[in-house]
Structure 1
């Protein structure tokens, strides 16, 4: 079931803080943060309805295909749920779809499945770190490989799988920007996260010694994360779409002087020897994955929760500071902030009477904060933020992975 949103501000004290009263529309823009913070606390205590879902104008130009949880200014109508036409007749599914070949863009038009086992999509082939993350989240799940990130998104939307587990950031390599963009293009909800320790292994054909290797194949990020070992071996580095695919290539080609960097599980799957373990430069190499589903989880307060949002801001000096301050005022910790240019209008032209015109980027801001939407402080923070944001969408509220 979809989360209820937050019906915001109906308090007579709101204008004292520069916040628009809900009865006068959304004319108020900027919050005066120079005032007494005590007034803000007092104001909160008298003005909360708790979250009413409202439709919003999509950031992308695509028609939404699934309902989403968001808080934004009213648009010209609520979105329709286009998923009504999907059915769940397992007998109509091609059995070969879920055997060994990854899903492709053509496969996602197939009818959905309602199997009793949780089916989880991931990008890559068996043995990929994403599959390890899926199995960590759901140890008894049926994993479904996909050849692209977007195929995994669509597989969930079309009921082919129940969930998708996709990487969003790595402690060494940074953010996966493609998946940030896809979170906006699709109407899925973040329902969990997985933090996975990445232990790269040097793999080779049975009987091969690492000193015999002349080239090593792997994903470019994996190669970059094993720089010291590769320099010591003095080998040629060959890029591959994913680490498990590199292991499969070495096994299938049978070339003795070629190795791969992949997981220990990939070595077992493809019959390769582990020539060395933990060959990454940084021992604390952690990848964070998001779990995506068609419906959000109901937030609670029984454990530590994280909320992910995306928003854009009105133009004005210090507006980003004010946006972040709504969390600081309520003692809410921000664990992640990422900015991405808006795809539909990446540049804003600003007139200058003396110097002609200057161009500035229009940004979307992705933020993770450590609080549950079941907590009033999180509800007030989002309502406060809405007063001077032009777009605000809740991507998900989900339990934190603290392991």
Structure 2
């Protein structure tokens, strides 16, 4: 038995806002203490006259929130993030939680902001971090999982991770990590990716027998690599491929990476702009421990994930809640639930038909501060078995610039 979500209306500066609490799974939480905790937390924001972006806390089969310092069940990623197992003797030395004031007063250039990214210096994710926060301190991590943990353990302030590319499509691994972790999307960055073919000084591209890079980068340069007739070798990231060639002195091996990676690791640019599509744009998400306070002063985007009840036309009804209110959907992605991928349709003794049970990730162009967005999500809850707001954040409307231009 689960307690159904009850909308709660609060008043702030003569404007009414609905705060929705998702279903509380009694198996997971056990008592009403968590509900009281959440109510107290929202009352604190109400007194300040601020609206905290809705944070759903209902469990879902795929979702395994991490205790800081502990791996989720079945997780095999190796990370370099560690946590002290001792207790703090001085409570005053503990990190102070971020507040809305801290977020709004952060320098626009990213001064004193530490941003984690997957890869090493010269990676495209580092370029995205520097576009968002030009003077930030970038912190490389060995895996995508490490960037999430670095934020959760207060080692950095934010993380930047790629989510989709106009040529290669969605990065499904990062969609799974968004659900597994409790970080919030606070921004996005869009950048043109200009791939270069790199090699050791004095090497000509005709001499290459292999090319090393991230699988997505190799796929985005398929036509050029086919013309060269080289063997493609996967690497963890583009800049890491350049580093391997430089450190190991591989004269018969090239790398697909950025021009800045060539400068950092002392390689020559054998060919520039080798991607199949010249309009090769990657979109990155900025993640933080706490959500930002959504407003209506600029174009906003909201990202959600949900599952649906069984029934004909349910997905159509779910998407219609946005169309009815004039809200544009900019992205929809479906991912099978890993722990329960199949749903039984017919339980007859003659056999059962099964189909995949999906999680739906949606981006829509509206702020959670708008009543139309609140009504749309309230309507969606009529069909959804699970609903979680991943973030409501400003859209990147700036000019799409090249990553690490020469």
Secondary structure at the aligned position of 1:169 is classed as strand
Q: Give the superposition deviation at 1:215.
A: 1.7
Change (3 A) 1:62 1:346: farther
The aligned counterpart of 1:52 is 19
Contact 2:121 2:140 in 1 (8 A): yes
Q: Partner of 1:356: helix, strand, or coil?
A: coil
Look up the match of 1:198. Answer: 193
Q: Is the 8 A contact 1:124 1:148 kept in 2?
A: yes
Give me the whole-angstrom Cα distance separating, in 1, the residues matched to 2:318 and 2:8: 17
Q: Which of these residues, 157, 163, 188, is aligned with residue 158 of structure 2?
A: 163
CA distance in 2, matches of 1:211, 1:177: 35
Q: C-alpha separation between the residues in 1 aligned to 2:131 and 2:304?
A: 25
Is 2:151–2:157's contact at 8 Å kept on the other side of the alignment?
yes
Residues 296/142 of structure 1: CA separation in 2 closer, same or farther (3 Å cut): same
Say if 2:104 is the partner of 1:109. no
Where structure 1 has 5 or more consecutive residues not aligned to the other structure, the ranges are 1-5, 11-47, 86-102
Alignment of 1:20-39 (within 5 A): none
Of 233, 239, 242, the match for 2:237: 242
List structure 1 segments (4+ residues) > 6 angstroms apart after TM superposition. Answer: 60-64, 72-75, 80-83, 111-116
1:70 is the counterpart of 2:70: no
Does the CA-based 8 Å contact 1:110-1:160 persist in structure 2? no
Between the aligned partners of 1:137 and 1:7, the Cα distance in structure 2 is 37
Tell me by how many angstroms 1:362 deviates.
1.3
Aligned-partner SS, 1:51: strand
Deviations 1:9-50, CA, capped at 9 Å, x for gaps: 99xxxxxxxxxxxxxxxxxxxxxxxxxxxxxxxxxxxxx952
**Residue number in structure 2 paired with 1:35:** none
Distance in 1 between residues matched to 2:57 and 2:374, nearest whole Å: 13
CA distance in 2, matches of 1:317, 1:352: 18
Given that 1:9 and 1:383 are in contact with CA atoms closer than 8 Å, whether structure 2 keeps it comes out as no
1:71-150 maps to which residues of 2 (within 5 A)?
71=56, 105-109=79-83, 117-150=112-145
* Matches of 1:264 and 1:290, distance apart in 2: 23
Kindly state the Cα deviation for residue 235 of structure 1 after the two structures are TM-superposed. Answer: 1.8
- State the shift of 1:56 in Å: 4.2
SS of 1:268 mapped into structure 2: helix
- Where does residue 261 of structure 1 map in the other structure? 256
Deviations 1:143-195 (A, max 9, x none): 11111111110110110100000011111111111111111111110000011
Structure 1 stretch 66-75 or stretch 337-346: which is displaced more? 66-75
- In the TM superposition, residue 304 of structure 1 has moved relative to its aligned partner by 0.6
263-272 or 252-261, which moves further after superposition?
A: 252-261
Residues 197 and 284, structure 1, Cα contact 8 Å, conserved in 2: yes
Matches within 5 A, 1:164-183: 164-183=159-178
Tell me, in whole angstroms, the C-alpha distance in 1 between the residues paired with 2:158 and 2:80: 19
Give the deviation of 1:69 after TM superposition: 3.4
Return the alpha-carbon distance in structure 1 between the equivalents of residues 392 and 16 of structure 2. 19
Paired with 1:348 and 1:300, the residues of 2 have a C-alpha distance of 39
Q: How far off its partner does 1:231 sit?
A: 1.9
Residues 42-68 of structure 1 deviation map (CA, whole Å, 9 limit, x = unaligned): xxxxxx95222525458x98999x998
Aligned CA-pair RMSD: 3.3
What is the match of residue 321 of structure 1?
Answer: 316
Q: Secondary structure at the match of 2:120?
A: coil
- Using structure 1 for the length normalisation, give the TM-score: 0.76
Shift of 1:286: 0.8
Shift of 1:354: 7.9
Question: Does the C-alpha gap of structure 1 residues 178 and 124 become closer, same or farther in structure 2, counting only changes over 3 Å?
Answer: same
